[in-house]
Structure 1
Amino acid sequence: MFVKVCTSFLAVKQPIKSLRKQSGLSYLHKVGQEPLKPLTLGLLLEQTVQNHGENLAVISRHQGKRMTYLQVLQQADRLAAGLIKSGHQKGDRVGLWAPNMLEWYITNMACARAGLIMVAINPSYRPREIEYCIKKVGIKGIICGHKFKNQDYYELLKMISPELSNSEPGKLKCKNLPSLKNVVTIADESLRGTYNYNDILDLADEESVKLIKSNQDSIKIDDPYNIQFTSGTTGHPKAVVISHFQLTNNGFFVGQRNELDKKHQTICVQVPLFHAFGIVITIGASVNNASTLVLPSPEYNPNKNLDALRDERCTVIHGTPTMYVDLVNVQKKKERKKYLQKLQFLEVPLLATSVQGNSVYGMSETTAVAFQSMPNDDENTSVTTVGHLQEHLEAKVVDDNDRIVPLGTPGELCIRGYISMLEYWEDQEKTKEILGSDKWLRTGDQVVLDENGYCRIVGRLKEMIIRGGENIFPKEIEDFLNTHPNIIETHVIGLPNERLGEEVCACVRVKENCTLTLEELRSFCQGQIASFKIPSALEIIESFPVTTSGKIQKFKLIEKVLSGKSKK
């Protein structure tokens, strides 16, 4: 995750305190001035309720619902009790597969209060993708929406679990998905074989709710809280496991850098809640500071976001660079510039110098944020770097031989500290590849560190494509496209795109006497992979550039496509 943002040109940079460094080398240690919090998310929510229970926690505009922190805790405990009574036990994985809505927020808190591991699932996932998620981490229960855009979650689940419609709620026996026992739908109607979300709430009684409250101390701060799916060069998403301790503290220090602790803030949420951005930077920081989250719509919609900014008097807005490009364009058309001028934080470079902003760098494997702008950074620093090292962390930049390079020299960024993931779920081999026995986490990103503790991204050692804020890994798409009857070989690359940052381009070799058009390719993908992964460009390639050992040189492939020489 790499977000560029804008900072007020009137700000004055303050001296960096508590920074220890090895003279001349790219090694930094940011000593925190405040201690880490020994809290689970459930106890953090309790603490916030004790101090700010009447603060609005969530405003879901598209649902017409508002809920205070006290109401969130009460509802979460009821849902947690209902989930336990429906057959779940501490440590069970519960998938959360829905767009931005109040029930997503409540379910997340309920899982934390019950000691369940919340598995965040992209609401755009199709059957083959959700099937992989269920099998990978042994999901026992899924709480899902009903209908979203072109998604009918119930019908999609029946495609991979045909036994669902003939099962009793909570007693699913699926040959294809043996771990899955319970499906809960957030729907206005009852669907065969599932619990309705309200049914789970109704299962709770006074005694079961009391049990949830009394069991909070049995949930340890280092227990797994969340599983995030993040793809890799192997083509299959890896399951990143994050603890309560990591979420609580990364959210706290993100909030500090954003100065959420200075006064009550109302945050317009453009990002999807299932992402690390939504879970940690948005929810984690807001609960730490009793801030109010505003959900303008279930999906990204710049018009509704602008309406939310005006109607709810939002002081903060969260989003990716692409979202801000759209937001500004809509704002110009509707002459709504005045809405943006009141915002305290706006995450887009050079949008408006009157708006204070924030740059961050991180990844799912580092919980969320490792580097972030300081509150008083000047505009140039905010635009040209991804910020300063977070508190209680170490960072170093190494060469190919794992030696620390001099300051100002490019190399691979490594991070060590409380934010390093617990593991890739039950995958010791992959965990060891990124997280060594010395606890240094290798990010795979090429950076430059300066002597003041700021980081500048030079390039990506990985092949990840970032399209409109979505992380896309080519191998997963390549494996799927290679099942097309006319395709011999596929290699997916990212091409520059002014609005999205990058677009997905499929470079393919087709069988002799066969043809393939972009429309045919996109039709083949429709309904099989998430829409944001479907290529928006197609290049028919006669031969791919390779090394002497036969490895594809993707950087040369990109050059060929951009120069128009791909077919020569």
Structure 2
Amino acid sequence: MIRNCFRIKKFSVRFSSTISSKPSYYHRVEGESFQYLTIGQLLKQATEKYGDRQAFISCEEKSQISFNEALHKANKLASGLLNLGLEKGDRVAIWSPNFEFWYTSYMAIARAGLICVTLNPAYTIPELNFCLNKVGVKAIISPEVFRKQQHYEMLSTLIPQLKNSKAGKIEGNATNSLQHVITVSDKKLPGAINFLELLNLSSENDLIKVEELQSSISVDDGSMIQFTSGTTGQPKATLLSHFAMVNSSYYSAIRNSLDKIYMKCSSPLPFFHVGGSIVSVLGSLHFGATLVSPSPHFDGEAMLRSIVNEKCNMMIGTPTFFVDLWSKQRALNLKIPEILIACVGGSLLSPQIVKDLETILKVKKISSVYGLTETSSVIMQTLPGDSNQSVEEFVGTVSKNVEAKIIDRDGKTVNFGEPGELCIRTSLNMLCYFNDPEKTKEVMGDDRWLKTGDQFILYENGYGKVVGRIKDMIIRGGENIFPKEIEDYLNTHEDIAETQVIGIPDDRMGEEVGAFIKLKDSSKTLTQNDIKEFCKNNLAHFKVPKFVIIVEDFPKTLSGKIQKFKFLEFYADKLKNLE
């Protein structure tokens, strides 16, 4: 039945090998208007259309909620948050991997007119403290513990008076702005508010007030803050609006054909990333797709079993995820249902990955996406009729109502077919970096053109391809890592004189972190284990260098500037010995 109603007309995207004489500016104008909705209104709309259909399934928790239940729970939690004294525009953080309460909290924060701050569950105490202070978080929602990460104990260390406070409000917190700690636990923890108790305290009158509140929340208000690093290495707080998030997810959902057929989508993308919170969560609301969360953190076997057990016909992930999937599939040899679409982002697809998606996982259609946190996720994506082979070279074509241009170092627009920095202007762009006008101005001027930092080639038909990164960003399994943050920390080691960090190509992760270190005393040495111990509790695990190479000097230009692009060439033998 599904095969008959979902026909893909494939064609090859053709490009001229010559450089055009026309400036590389492209604006995709299409007749369909923007969706003028808040996230809370989008959830209400989904409920009215799809009601008792499954909205979200958490495989590890063995739980599921319908669209009706999602709205009801969101309203109850929204009223609970407001009853704590939180007011419109206050920031509420979710510090957790993918659980059902993350989904509910996300919707509740939007329905309450608050701003959701998404935090990486792998953050250490210093990283957490920086983010809380940066945006003035007033309440945080987290599990008591997840695996080795002791969330409640870490918060207790950060806020010593927490355990001596009455549940409801932290008094005298001089460390940061945090007033309320909400924990998901089967225990009553000192100073913390129990999530389930807060969820169940709402009266019918409270729920009516939440519904009445929706008309006063502006579509153009800030709705979410996600942290992204920059060339300075310090995380920047990207403020996204309801409007941008709703429309970015809407356009991506259409290009994934969610408007044509009911999709049951297995997605391991972390909710604290725009891919998880916008493409996966919000994307499923527009056309009543069911979002399936295989496990709190990515687990290849869990994802495979979620596809089989829930009979998913769509999956979303990074190339790294899919490499792990077919490795597990070779071992398990499960009977996988027909996958109509695999939506892939985070890094470019190799021909081998495309082939394995088609042959091992039996994927009919591969959809490539490109976007940034600052553009509310996707602003380029393949069209439903594009051939699977097109994703090996191109990230797709410009999204609806998005302007794109390529500029040189002087800011001049280059011609189609010439490389340069990709710039984007759209209503999907971030509002700003929260309380950071200088950093905002660096990437987005008064004309609203946003510099992506990525080196691109754009063609006359709006298709583009990445040819390099102007920024030094490392993409490890879809995680964006910026070297300067790691370099600055390693340079605090008493034996290290200077550090340069680059991405080392890796078949599975795309890139791994490599640290090239000059020691103060050449007679000493440092190993990868030494560096791992030094980074413990101060850098998230995915930022810790896998490769540590002790060097006497760095490749430089005649003027003394370090040439990072030559590291792999200069130290190829040392890297080979470390593999």
SS in 1 for 2:315: strand
Change (3 A) 1:9 1:351: farther
Corresponding residue for 1:384? 393
The answer as to 2:150 corresponding to 1:152 is: yes
Q: CA deviation at 1:553?
A: 2.0
SS in 2 for 1:345: strand
Corresponding residue for 1:451? 460
Alignment of 1:271-420 (within 5 A): 271-336=269-334, 338-339=335-336, 341-345=338-342, 347=344, 349-353=354-358, 354-355=362-363, 356-420=365-429
Residue from 535, 545, 551 that aligns with 2:545: 535
Residue from 545, 559, 563 that aligns with 1:553: 563
In 1, distance between residues paired with 2:143 and 2:232? 30
In 2, distance between residues paired with 1:300 and 1:381? 27
In 1, distance between residues paired with 2:32 and 2:295? 36
Q: What amino acid maps onto 1:399 in structure 2?
A: D
CA contact (8 A) 1:10 1:378 kept: no
CA contact (8 A) 2:173 2:179 kept: no
Q: In the TM superposition, what whole-angstrom CA distance separates every residue of 1:183-203 from its partner, at most 9, and x where no partner exists?
A: 000111111110010121133
Residue from 513, 522, 534 that aligns with 1:524: 534
Residue from 100, 103, 106 that aligns with 1:105: 103
Q: In the TM superposition, what whole-angstrom CA distance separates every residue of 1:172-220 from its partner, at most 9, and x where no partner exists?
A: 1354433110000011111111001012113321111111100101100
Change (3 A) 1:156 1:565: closer
In 2, distance between residues paired with 1:178 and 1:115? 22
Select the structure with the greater relative contact order (CA < 8 A; seq sep ≥ 6). Answer: 1
Change (3 A) 1:171 1:113: same
Q: What amino acid maps onto 1:92 in structure 2?
A: D
Q: In the TM superposition, what whole-angstrom CA distance separates every residue of 1:412-456 from its partner, at most 9, and x where no partner exists?
A: 111111111100001101101111111111111111111221001
CA contact (8 A) 2:60 2:296 kept: yes
Q: In the TM superposition, what whole-angstrom CA distance separates every residue of 1:322-372 from its partner, at most 9, and x where no partner exists?
A: 010000111011113x41643432535332335211011110001001100
Q: What amino acid maps onto 1:521 in structure 2?
A: I
In 2, distance between residues paired with 1:174 and 1:14? 63
CA contact (8 A) 1:227 1:242 kept: yes
Q: What is the TM-score with the length of structure 1 in the denominator?
A: 0.94
Q: In the TM superposition, what whole-angstrom CA distance separates every residue of 1:464-517 from its partner, at most 9, and x where no partner exists?
A: 001111110111111111222221211111111111111101111122143211
CA contact (8 A) 1:161 1:174 kept: no
Residue from 464, 469, 482 that aligns with 1:460: 469
Q: In the TM superposition, what whole-angstrom CA distance separates every residue of 1:143-165 from its partner, at most 9, and x where no partner exists?
A: 01121121010011112111111
Corresponding residue for 1:3? none
Residue from 105, 109, 115 that aligns with 2:113: 115
SS in 2 for 1:551: coil
Q: CA deviation at 1:524?
A: 1.4
Q: CA deviation at 1:12?
A: 2.2
In 1, distance between residues paired with 2:337 and 2:547? 34
Corresponding residue for 2:350? none
Q: CA deviation at 1:15?
A: 9.7
CA contact (8 A) 2:343 2:369 kept: no
Change (3 A) 1:15 1:235: closer
CA RMSD across the alignment: 2.0
In 2, distance between residues paired with 1:192 and 1:185? 10
Q: In the TM superposition, what whole-angstrom CA distance separates every residue of 1:294-321 from its partner, at most 9, and x where no partner exists?
A: 1111111111111110110001111110
The answer as to 2:257 corresponding to 1:248 is: no
Corresponding residue for 2:448? 439
SS in 1 for 2:226: strand
CA contact (8 A) 1:541 1:566 kept: no
In 2, distance between residues paired with 1:373 and 1:31? 16
In 1, distance between residues paired with 2:303 and 2:174? 41
- Bigger Cα displacement from structure 2, 227-236 vs 166-175: 166-175
In 1, distance between residues paired with 2:454 and 2:527? 35
- Bigger Cα displacement from structure 2, 226-235 vs 551-560: 551-560
SS in 2 for 1:359: strand
In 1, distance between residues paired with 2:576 and 2:340? 46
In 2, distance between residues paired with 1:58 and 1:105? 8
In 1, distance between residues paired with 2:509 and 2:7? 26
Q: What is the TM-score with the length of structure 2 in the denominator?
A: 0.92
Residue from 464, 481, 500 that aligns with 2:509: 500
Corresponding residue for 2:63? 65
In 2, distance between residues paired with 1:201 and 1:242? 26
The share of aligned pairs that are identical, in percent, is 42
Change (3 A) 1:162 1:331: same
Total equivalences in the alignment: 554
In 2, distance between residues paired with 1:96 and 1:26? 40
Corresponding residue for 1:35? 33
CA contact (8 A) 1:477 1:492 kept: yes
In 1, distance between residues paired with 2:305 and 2:13? 38
CA contact (8 A) 1:40 1:244 kept: yes
SS in 1 for 2:227: strand
SS in 2 for 1:151: coil
SS in 2 for 1:216: helix
Alignment of 1:464-479 (within 5 A): 464-479=473-488
5+ unaligned residues in a row in structure 2: which ranges?
1-5, 15-19, 345-352
CA contact (8 A) 2:311 2:337 kept: no
SS in 1 for 2:137: coil
Corresponding residue for 1:19? none
Residue from 415, 438, 456 that aligns with 1:429: 438
In 2, distance between residues paired with 1:220 and 1:509? 53
SS in 1 for 2:101: helix
